[in-house]
Amino acid sequence: MNSENEIMRHVIAALVTNEPGVLAQVAQMFAARGFNIDSLVVGRTENPELSRMTIVVSGSNAVLEQVRKQLQKLVPVVKVVDYKDVPFVERDMILVQVFTGNKGEKRSDLIQLADLFRARIVDVASDRLMIELAGSEDKLEAFVDLVEPYGIVELARTGVIAMPRGNASPMGRKPLAKGRRVSDRSKRKSDIDEGDLPPG
């Protein structure tokens, strides 16, 4: 199979300006091209004028390159990076409530399992535990598979966040100078100083 047409998992980071409707614009752009977004997380960066979107989607390199270009054309989007060629760290987090039995007879087994995965017990009730676990998607899926037989009462996930390792930042910038800001919210991306952007 041509590698350009092979369906792959892509982790895309986008730096966007903080303004209303940005999330809706990005989601609509992906939906218009028939992509199902596996995960989409938006959070603040060290620069209060910018937010970082981490988007996980599946598709071919050729099609994803077109999507990346279209995403870059959106006015609120400052920079887009597909981490496919960059070593990076990714983390997801879950909170899961698991049934421990009517008298808590399964509690010790679940605590041992949580310890093996370096998870934390964040709430205890007479018949359930709430467990917090952070890590890669594979790690979280493996944990969920193991606790499922006990009975999952409720589960919530944050979605994936990612950042390039060490000097592997595809944007290759220095840290944001203390006290610097993107002073005008109405600035277009072409007017924004690269030094004002966080790496990655």
Overall CATH class of domain 8-87+165-196: alpha beta
Evaluate if residue 187 carries a pLDDT over 60: no
Whole-prediction pTM: 0.73
**C-alpha–C-alpha distance, residues 177 and 181, integer Å:** 9
Q: Which of 46-60, 104-118, 160-174 has the lowest mean pLDDT?
A: 160-174
Q: Which of 158, 149, 50, 38 is nearest to 94 (CA)?
A: 158
Q: In CATH, which of 3.30.70.1150, 1.10.150.530, 3.40.50.300, 3.10.20.30 is domain 90-157? A: 3.30.70.1150
Identify the pLDDT of residue 172: 46
Instruction: Report whether pLDDT(177) > 50.
Output: no
Where exactly does CATH 3.30.70.260 map onto the chain?
8-87+165-196
For residue range 117-144, list pLDDT tens digits in order.
Answer: 999 999 999 999 999 999 999 999 999 9
The DSSP call for residue 174 is: P
Q: Which part of the chain is CATH 3.30.70.1150?
A: 90-157
Sign of the torsion angle spanned by Cα atoms 160, 164, 166, 169:
negative
Task: Write down the pLDDT at residue 176.
Answer: 45
Closest CA to 77 of 96, 52, 60, 99: 52
Helix H or strand E encompassing 1: none
Distance CA 135, CA 92 (A): 5
Mean pLDDT computed over 145-159: 96
